[in-house]
């Protein structure tokens, strides 16, 4: 099964993901992070333990203190040392073309998604991750 980490400061979005998960059971585990620095610490700590690394990470770009862009930049330097390939999705309320372009500059960003994420999209992401 596919594992997912959600990085977002909006507790409602976390609840929506949990609700959608309860209705699809597409993910074997979902972890929730509200701060980018905590997720980066987790990834660094477990970089050699592929079973503790997620298959997919959802990243919101509008985070306080360390924003999603800073997370993506740090992840870019960290990704090569991880024992597992992780698929990143930017999931945001931003409809700015500049944000979409900036996200697309990262080769590891699979897709730029506008909230809300549908149950069908969550299923499709889990299925795609399972196939990789």
What's the CATH code of the domain at 97? 3.40.50.2300
Q: Give residue for tokens 């592929």.
A: 50
Total domains in the fold of the chain? 1
Beta strands in the chain (DSSP E): 2-7, 27-33, 56-59, 87-92, 109-114
Q: How far is CA 42 from CA 38, 46, 69, 129, in A?
A: 6, 6, 18, 21
β partners of residue 31: 5
Q: Give residue for tokens 């090569």.
A: 80
pLDDT tens for 30-52 read 999 999 999 999 999 999 999 99
What local confidence, expressed as pLDDT, does residue 21 receive? 83
Phi, psi of 9 (to 5 degrees): -90, 0
Domain that holds residue 92: 2-131
How open is the CA angle 91-95-118, to the nearest 5 degrees? 45
Contact 86, 52 (CB under 8 A): no
> Does the pLDDT value for residue 126 go beyond 80?
yes
What local confidence, expressed as pLDDT, does residue 61 receive? 96
Separation of alpha carbons 62 and 59, rounded Å: 9
Mean pLDDT calculated for residue range 123-132: 87
């Amino acid at each position: 099964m596919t594992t997912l980490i959600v990085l977002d400061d909006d507790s409602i979005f976390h609840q929506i993901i949990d609700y959608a998960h309860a209705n699809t059971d597409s993910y074997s585990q979902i972890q929730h992070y509200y701060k980018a620095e905590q997720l980066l610490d987790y990834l660094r700590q477990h970089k050699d333990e592929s079973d503790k690394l997620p298959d997919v990470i959802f990243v919101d770009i509008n985070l306080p203190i360390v924003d999603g862009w800073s997370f993506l930049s740090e992840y870019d330097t960290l990704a090569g040392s991880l024992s597992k390939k992780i698929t990143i999705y930017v999931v945001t309320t931003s409809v700015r073309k500049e944000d979409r372009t900036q996200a697309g500059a990262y080769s590891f960003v699979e897709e730029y998604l506008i909230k809300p994420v549908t149950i069908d999209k969550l299923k499709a992401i889990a299925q795609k991750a399972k196939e990789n």
